[in-house]
A and B are shown apart, each in its own frame.
Chain A
Amino acid sequence: MAAGREPLSPPTRTVDVMRWQFGQTRSQAAERGEGAYPLPADAAHPSSVAASGAPIVEMRGITKRFGPVVANNHVDLTLREGEIHAVLGENGAGKTTLMNILSGMYQPDAGTILIRGRETKIATPADALRQGIGTVYQHFTLVPNLTVIENVALGAEPGFLLDLAAAERRLAQLLTDFELNASPHTEIRHLSLGQRQRVEIIKVLSRGSRVLLLDEPTSVLTPVEVEGLFAILRRLRANGVAVVLITHKLEEVLDVSDRVTILRQGRKIGEIGPEVISSGDRAAIRQRIVEMMFGGAPAEAPSASARASGAANGSTLLALQDVTALGDRGEVAVRGLSLELRAGEVFGIAGVDGNGQKELGEVIAGQRHVTRGRVILDGQDITNKGVAACSRLGIGYVTDDRLGEGCVPGMSVAENTVLKMVTRSPFSKGFWLNRGAIEAEARRLIGQFDVKTPSTATPITALSGGNIQKLLLARELAMNPRLLVCNKPTNGLDLKTAQFVLRTLREQADAGKAVLLISSELDELMQVSDRIGVIYNGQIVGIFERAAADLEAIGHLMLGGRERERGVA
């Protein structure tokens, strides 16, 4: 392709970009007699044809450290034109760091980046864009009360005065091509998330990007929108754009990618090329990828504290019936989910971040509005009763966002201890606070849970994460809940504190309470749970008794795999 051999730095005028980008294809299409439609349908371009382009970007030996954590450890990645390249990995595997390096957000500590064979430094995101690398972030960067055209033209049009009419003429074709199904004069806030994402893609392409990075692009989309996105990506591929999908949704990825790179704990574990992917043996490929992502994890022997309890006989304490709830961005986060929790069990929720587990926890705690379905606690309908009511009925919730949501910075340890029970006796008598009782309670919990703090009057922010976590857990348990929901309670804790937290949860269940443990760490779920439910895309896609649980099967489901027998060849 002639277009592909041009220097990667884009031409200055958008109008040229358009020709540069799509003009070539348009003429090719015309030659083939496919009419004037600039983006040929995918059928005309089997993936195997496109996926053999020259390397555009080569990352070699990229290493990035954050303090003691090595986020990327000598990672190599080659992006070729006309290829859709998926980068897969668990949370914390280093995908996002790698992409942030490529998009100029971070500078690598070691390693080189070659663009079209020339060693290049990508200093800033703007620099990346100038070099033809465009990124569509998970959180969109559009201005909600500007129109589509204004957003796309923002910062891209030359000169001081914005000629929107000219911008519209230049962008008209691009907007049609991407089937936005909305007037370019619509304000962004009126568009669906899928449409906004298209505008983001249009925005970076209109700046001449030849490499398109997409961070978790499907996480906010409906299944139909996902299909639409993939159709677009295939067309871009046909135009020689190198597309990078950062994701953990294996099943989706296999539908569209030519090449898959797997990261684990900062290292590149493997790469599967188009020759294998196009071989068609989906089940085998999937198996291999799951092994690479999760395999080798030591199958945890049931620890002493976690015995096969009689949980199966416990009565149902909490039932979710067909519950649907929206996430913070208005997307459907919990999708018709049903679940039953029994007294005396730890129920683990396994899932990759962003699959609705946080929202599920909030729904149970009464902190998130349920748009459909019912939540029933011990026979009583508690749907949308609110946090205060749920708390009084015996539901405790430990949030994963300790500082942002769990406590009040600037208040003392003692004041934070009673945050959720300040209206209860003995911490207040009617209108008046009982500071003495608050102090005493704080001291009691600090002692019982071995929270390290200089005093009860110390500001909470002076404590370490582990100690804050212990205090938050202590605070819930002090209210003696019947049901305790914990979202990632061991996140960022040292091993000893993490074990303490897990042991505490197990003890609670053994004492006849129900515990819902949300985590992305399979090991810890295996250690304390009686049952493990896998959440994917807002639904429970599988429930395993711990004895029968199999790490690989769970990992497979976490990534969006259907049950293995039904895997499509």
Chain B
Amino acid sequence: MSGRERLRHAAVPFAVSLLAVFLACLVGGLFLELRGKDALHAYQVLIERGLGNPGQRTETLKQMAPLLIISGGLAIALRAGVWNIGIDGQFFVGALLCGIVVPELAGDVPRAIVILIGAIAGLVGGLLWAVVPGILRVRWGLNEIITTLMMNYVALNVTSWLVKGPVRDPERVAPETKQIPLSDRLPDIPGTSVHIGLLAGLLVVVLVGVLFRSTVLGYMFTALGRNRRAAIHAGLPVGRLTLLALLLSGAFAGLAGANDVMGVQGRFSGNWHPEYGFTAFALVYLARLNPFAIIPFAFFFSFLMVGGQSMPRRADVPTYYIGMLEGLMLIFFAATVALERLWSRATRRAPEDAPLAIGAASAAAPVSAESDAGDGAVSAPQNTALSAGETR
């Protein structure tokens, strides 16, 4: 391939994703106008509050960390053709485990060790939460979309019960674990006020990139995800690969939980419910499962999350609006990918290496993302997820 062709190969998918983002913002703006709001003002607020001053920029960079870590893991799963919808559950369990373990150690051991153990606790928690769906899938062929989704609810309720009772900080009334002393939280990157979680996130994404570029395991994941039958035919260890992909993405989700507990929250709290799962899906698909493309999109989504928090006060637009934008992005993404395929077929080009069954994926995720927006016209996400699994 010539250099130019290579550029085209990289540029076209990126342009398609950007187009989807642009169209989503456009249509989202129309919604706002229809509701009698000033869309331009709303976007202005979004940009100002997301990037306008150094403090906001720091927040945006901090918010990137969990997105990067989760997306790196999710990219592994999706590349291997495994649908881990259980990101949120794995995140909670990792976060709680970290929130239980770290305060116990705090003060007695050096900070580096505390952080390392906290990270391991997060990884283990997320991984454990992926074990059951993984085994159900590999041993009995149960659809992981359903099982991981259901495990989210189990995780939500189990963690909430634990934090109200057995692991609650006895000194406090609120359902919270013990606080991690400031001296044992994640340190800032020297010269900034962004904690090192961002570096961890970048490291995860780079490692995943290396995994797919240069390792046998990454190659086998990709082969499995693109053609399961060929993987079976070639004698690849399909069952073990499927399990491993699910466990890895679960572990990274748990690590992201540990990151938030040690870096931002300082404790696991029963009324803390970040829902990164569907954001991560949108992100990873827009990045077209390419680990390196995850970085700019993580920045963008992080900016949306941070800026969106100010929208209710400043522009009278609910924060749910960001969830709606994410959903729209996936819908437009699916549409533009379909157009791109038609176009490349028309010009007799080989198909782009778009993820398989993208149509099914984006059919499932946006509906669910929109259900966050509390909008009236929402169909059951479980059913959509079911059909997505079957069309795969």
Contact = CB atoms under 8 A, between A and B. Distances in A.
B227 A415 contact: no
A431 B353 contact: no
A409 B225 CA distance: 10
A407 B230 contact: yes
B226 A411 contact: yes
Interface in A56-78: none
- Could you say which of B215, B219, B236, B351 has the most chain A C-beta atoms within 10 Å of its C-beta? B219
Contact of A404 (B218, B229, B231, B350): B229
Contacts, number: 78
Contacts of B234: 387, 419-420
Interface string B339-365: 000000000001101001000000000
Interface string A422-446: 1100001001110100000000000
Contacts of B232: 367, 387, 405
A433 B350 contact: no
B230 A406 contact: yes
A543 interface: no
A465 interface: no
A386 interface: yes
A423 B214 contact: no
Contacts of B233: 367, 387, 397, 399, 405-406
B210 to A, nearest CB: 10
Nearest to A386: B235
B387 to A, nearest CB: 14
A408 B216 contact: no
Size bracket of the A interface = 35 or more
Given A407-B227, A408-B227, A433 B215 contact: yes
Nearest to B229: A405
Given A422-B220, A423-B216, A410 B351 contact: yes
B222 interface: yes
Contacts of A222: none
A462 B353 CA distance: 12
Contacts of B220: 422
A408 B1 contact: no
A388 B240 CA distance: 13
A281 B219 CA distance: 62
- Could you say which of B1, B230, B353 has the most chain A C-beta atoms within 10 Å of its C-beta? B230
Contact of B350 (A387, A432, A458): A458
B227 A409 contact: yes
B353 A415 contact: no
Interface in B98-127: none
B93 to A, nearest CB: 28
Contact of A408 (B215, B226, B237, B351): B226
A287 to B, nearest CB: 41
Interface in B217-257: 217-220, 222-223, 226-227, 229-237
Nearest to A462: B350
A422 B219 contact: yes
A338 interface: no
Contacts of A401: 229
Tell me the dominant secondary structure on chain B's binding face: helix
Given A388-B237, A405-B229, A407-B230, A433 B351 contact: no
Contact of B223 (A397, A406, A411): A411
A432 B219 CA distance: 10
A435 B215 CA distance: 10
Interface string A360-403: 00000011000000000000000000111111000001010100
A473 to B, nearest CB: 14
A332 B288 CA distance: 43
A194 B6 CA distance: 55
A326 to B, nearest CB: 16
A455 interface: yes
Given A409-B227, A461-B351, A415 B356 contact: no
Contacts of A461: 350-351
- Could you say which of B235, B350, B353 has the most chain A C-beta atoms within 10 Å of its C-beta? B235
A431 B351 CA distance: 30
Nearest to A399: B233
Contacts of A391: 235
Nearest to A423: B216
Given A411-B223, A459-B351, A431 B215 contact: yes
A268 to B, nearest CB: 37
A390 B235 CA distance: 9
Contacts of B223: 408, 411, 415, 419
A432 B230 contact: no
Nearest to B230: A408
Contacts of B231: 408
A225 to B, nearest CB: 27
A411 B353 CA distance: 8
Contacts of B356: 410
A459 B353 contact: yes
B222 A411 contact: yes
A422 B227 contact: no
Contacts of A423: 216
B153 to A, nearest CB: 24
A457 interface: yes
Given A399-B233, A404-B229, 16 more contacts: A367-B232, A389-B235, A390-B235, A405-B227, A405-B229, A406-B233, A409-B227, A410-B353, A415-B219, A422-B216, A423-B216, A432-B215, A455-B1, A459-B350, A461-B350, A462-B350
8 contacts: A387-B234, A390-B235, A391-B235, A397-B233, A404-B230, A408-B223, A410-B351, A422-B220
The 4 A-B residue pairs whose C-beta atoms are closest, nearest first, are A387-B235, A388-B235, A462-B350, A459-B350
